[in-house]
Amino acid sequence: MRFFFPDSQDLVSPSYDFLRDEYAAHRVRQRDDRYAHEVLDRAPYDGILVSKSIVDGSIKGSGKYSTAQRARLHRMGVHKFFRLPAGVEALGDNGAFNYIDEAVPPVTAAETLDFYEECGFDAGVSTDHVVFGFTEDASSDGVEPEWESRRRLTLGLAQEFLALCQERRSAVEPVGAAQGWSPETYADSVRALQDLGYRRIALGGMVPLKTSQILASLKRISDVLKTDTQLHLLGITRVDSMDDFSELGVTSFDSTSAFRQAFMDDRKNFHTAERAYVAIRVPQVDGNPALKRAILAGNVSQKDAVKAEREALNALRSYDGSSRSRQACLDRLDEYQVICQSKKSYLAAYEETLTAAPWTQCNCKICREHGVEIAIFRGTERNKRRGFHNMSVLADKMAKLKSHRSADG
């Protein structure tokens, strides 16, 4: 089972000053900042997934790449642009969720392949169109006609994409996109793609589905799946079900879940092999909108806020694992919560995090170098590093799954 990380230009600055919360004066982001595979001892993924809509933009507007970054990617190629180590694959797709509201994809099969070839991708997913709904009922009664039309449109685009790859003798490995609105239609899409000649198929549109619905679809797909066909799950993690997915023919997946939970989840911010912990929130005084408004309104003293912020950070940096030191941290955090007028208290969760001190038990390069800073929910540099740490934990979990499967024969 291989893990691909979807790119969204997530980098960190190796020269960032955590004590002053400052970047180096002459920092150039693309030149100086580093990707996860450059700041960890080893890449926490087997490949990266880069969407055309992220780079070139889509019907909804510009992508996440600046004009200069986009030009550099096309000029240098994906491997040099991302400074990928040997063995890390570059997989491209269209980013169909970015044009889900359109009647038809705003990009052709030829434009898709042009993008993959110009940027030097190892493999690329055919143009697809996400189906809106899902039912486990095998019949088509009550099903929106658009569901089936989008599925068939995706198959037609896959046929065109494969023909172009063959005609051009493209170095890009074609990956057929399969959409569906039921286990039966997903299986039919996989069967049709195999008949066309695809031996690598990406299952799209499953992100909103329950795990039971994904498993039901995979079980039906397994009835038609050829032994040499590889299945990729687009946007799906579900680590607890990965063993079941693997048994049903899934060989790879991509997801930002572990990374984004570091700063998007309310509770599961700092991952370990056993569980996830709440990161300790110490927002920057000048970076907290609610606190800034309170200061401007005269309801909070800026001097008091800055003092409480510094004392909370100092207490965390001085934490030695003792109950006395832990209580000092909790007291300072409580004081800063009050000043920040926080609507929710995390003190009980913070006590769990401090008691476990998971950063002291982690052997990843980020935790070794930065310690408690990685457990602090504060600004993009700490939060993204914690996301990179989370991906290293996921990589370890995947390695153990592979080891168990090998041991089981």
Q: What DSSP designation does 371 have?
A: G
Which residue among 10, 33, 93, 128 is the active-site one? 93
Q: Is 207 exposed, middle or buried (0-12, 13-18, 19+ CB in 10 A)?
A: middle
**Degrees to nearest 5, angle at CA 40 with 34 and 42:** 115
Which one is catalytic: 254, 266, 304, 396? Answer: 254
Q: Radius of gyration over alpha carbons of the chain, in Å?
A: 24
Give yes or no: 93 in active site.
yes
Question: CB-based contacts of 30: which residues, under 8 Å, 6+ apart?
Answer: 11, 69, 72
What is the C-alpha separation between 376 and 387, in angstroms, rounded?
A: 12
One-letter amino acid for residue 48 of the chain: I
Q: Identify the CA nearest to 118 among candidates 74, 172, 56.
A: 74
Of 237, 230, 126, 137, residue with least CA distance to 181:
137
What does the DSSP assignment read for 88-148? -EEEEE--GGGGTTSSS-SS-HHHHHHHHHHHT-SEEEPP--------S-SS-TT--HHHH
The H-or-E segment that residue 4 falls in is: strand 2-6
Residue 102: partners with Cβ closer than 8 Å, 6 or more residues away: 59
Rounded distance between C-alpha atoms, residue 330 and residue 339, angstroms: 14
CA pseudo-torsion sign 188, 132, 101, 207? negative
d(CA 275, CA 297): 41
Is 128 an annotated catalytic residue? no
**Active-site residue set:** 93, 254
